[in-house]
Structure 1
Amino acid sequence: MALVTVDRAIRLKGDDAINVAAGRVRFYLAGTVDTLLAGRGGLPGGVDWIADVPLDGSNHLPKLKKRRLILFARTTPGRPGTLQLVARDSAIDWTPDSEARLRAILTEAVSPNAPPPVTGIGHAFHVAGTIPGEGETQIFLRTADARPVSLSIVRRPGEQPRWSESLGELVDDAAAAPKRETLAWYRLACGLPPTLPDEAVADQSPEDADQARTDYRFVLESLGSCDRAGTDQAAPPLDQSSR
């Protein structure tokens, strides 16, 4: 992850711009590395990359030269100055606020208590309460390092449903939903699948399985969309012929 000032922006056409999505244009970009925010091995002072950039609000070509961008990218083997964005939208405009938020997340990420990346869903079950409209759903997540993470969704008559996340073997009754744009929020918003897998509720009654799915959708809607790079298709690699 690096803060880069764009020095050159060349629009690519023809064979160099195959499969560009509607409303986007492909650019070869080169810039100066201002700061390395995260990564191993460092970067040279100058880097280049390719990006499929959306047109601006007036459907015109975006003005890229001299823009300061935060890039989420990987280096190309044997070519340390050539980057490949990890996803199509892996470049965001730099602002003091965007850098501060990213630095806070990076600080969280190196903490021993940092929430692990979510890789899927294990088991989910719903237990109805003693009165209509009351119940609780537990959803147990799979994580990259096998640490336990679970979601609880509680419904009570006359109240808004409430959900929380627990990190650990035991469900924490005092737990809460993670705050937006924290590392825990990103782990869930960017790691949870769009639907609850059927196998996660295979041992549930149809009614309880449907309620678990409803509660899972409630969690996704509460989280909102994942606004970080890495959720879309990878950006095109920089081909030597595009220079």
Structure 2
Amino acid sequence: MTSLLIPLFALGAAPVASQAQQAPATATTAGPGFAALADLAVRAPVIAGVEIRRAVRLKPAEAPGIVPGATRFFVEADLVTLLRGRGGLPARVSYLVDLPSEARGRPPKPKGQRVLLLAAPVAGRPAELQLVGSGAQLDWTPGTEQRLRTLATALVAPDAPPAITGISSAFHVPGSLPGESETQIFLTTASAKPVSLSILRRPGEQPRWAVSLSDIVDETAAAPARDTLLWYRLACGLPAALPEAATSALSPEDNAAARADYAVVRTGLGPCR
């Protein structure tokens, strides 16, 4: 099932008409890129696989703010797999979702389909969910479930990399040989946990960079593997260039070298897509 998505509210046994006044999310297509999936996962206290048992189509008057070509549904679904959710979930949950029309404008038929939800519980209503954003209902596939399972595990790990909020300072030190140097860049994070980057240059070799998640720069550290939580934190959290404040204490030559080394990191990470 392919879906569109706007902020979405999951609702339980309350009358459908009263729930229709709340704007739901619109579900999107299956198989999003890792960064898009991580954007949702970091905001979702609940990640679950469900099977839709009941889907009541709401009238246009009961679906304010719905996008053209979509239909709003009140959905009741049975829990199949809970990938993340402190305290668990009831066996049946409910929510609102906007789904795009099928071929020739026909309304979709979500009943019986298996989907993945990234959501938050509604306060005081454990059986009601609110999807966390655009794309927060996904078609179920083994691959998408596994990627979400990996993300859910990484997010609660004791050594989970924190969200990057900026760059505090950068230092550049030339080596004893021509073409040899090291740049260290210290990051700011939402949790105040230390994160730093180091870029080493040696004559005749490609620049090598690494990330450290401790106060001490780890000489054995390496660049993060793509499509991991650490890669996402860096690729999607780092600014495009070093801020002026981070290099204000450097000489013009060291400033230029630090900026060139930072570009090595940005190129190595690739775009956040």
TM-score by length of 2: 0.63
Match of 1:100 in 2: 146
Number of residue equivalences = 223
Aligned equivalents of 1:53 and 1:122: distance in 2?
44
For residues 36-66 of structure 1, the C-alpha deviation after alignment (integer angstroms, 9 at most, x for no partner) is 211223323333434566889x997895724
Pick the aligned partner of 1:28 from 73, 88, 99.
73
Q: Does the C-alpha gap of structure 1 residues 138 and 32 become closer, same or farther in structure 2, counting only changes over 3 Å?
A: same
The farther-off stretch of 211-220 and 135-144 is 211-220
User: Is 2:109 aligned against 1:88?
Assistant: no
RMSD, aligned CA: 3.8
For residues 9-42 of structure 1, the C-alpha deviation after alignment (integer angstroms, 9 at most, x for no partner) is 748857845385x9x8474352332122112233
Q: Does the C-alpha gap of structure 1 residues 19 and 62 become closer, same or farther in structure 2, counting only changes over 3 Å?
A: closer
2:121 partner letter: T
CA contact (8 A) 2:63 2:72 kept: no
1:28 partner letter: F
Q: Does the C-alpha gap of structure 1 residues 203 and 55 become closer, same or farther in structure 2, counting only changes over 3 Å?
A: farther
Match of 1:223 in 2: 269
Gaps of 5+ in 1: 228-243
Match of 2:178 in 1: 131
Give percent identity, aligned residues only.
48
* CA shift for structure 1 position 75: 1.6
* CA shift for structure 1 position 148: 1.5
TM-score by length of 1: 0.69
Aligned equivalents of 1:147 and 1:15: distance in 2?
46
Aligned equivalents of 1:92 and 1:225: distance in 2?
23
CA contact (8 A) 2:162 2:191 kept: yes
Aligned equivalents of 2:98 and 2:197: distance in 1?
36
- Secondary structure (helix, strand or coil) at the match of 2:84 reads coil
Aligned equivalents of 2:132 and 2:220: distance in 1?
37
2:222 partner letter: A
Superposed counterparts of 1:23-62, under 5 Å: 25=70, 27-28=72-73, 30=75, 31-51=77-97
Computing the radius of gyration from Cα coordinates, the structure with the larger value is 2
CA contact (8 A) 2:171 2:183 kept: yes
Runs of 4+ in 1 over 6 A off after TM superposition: 52-56, 58-62
For residues 69-100 of structure 1, the C-alpha deviation after alignment (integer angstroms, 9 at most, x for no partner) is 32221122233333222232333333223323
Gaps of 5+ in 2: 1-46
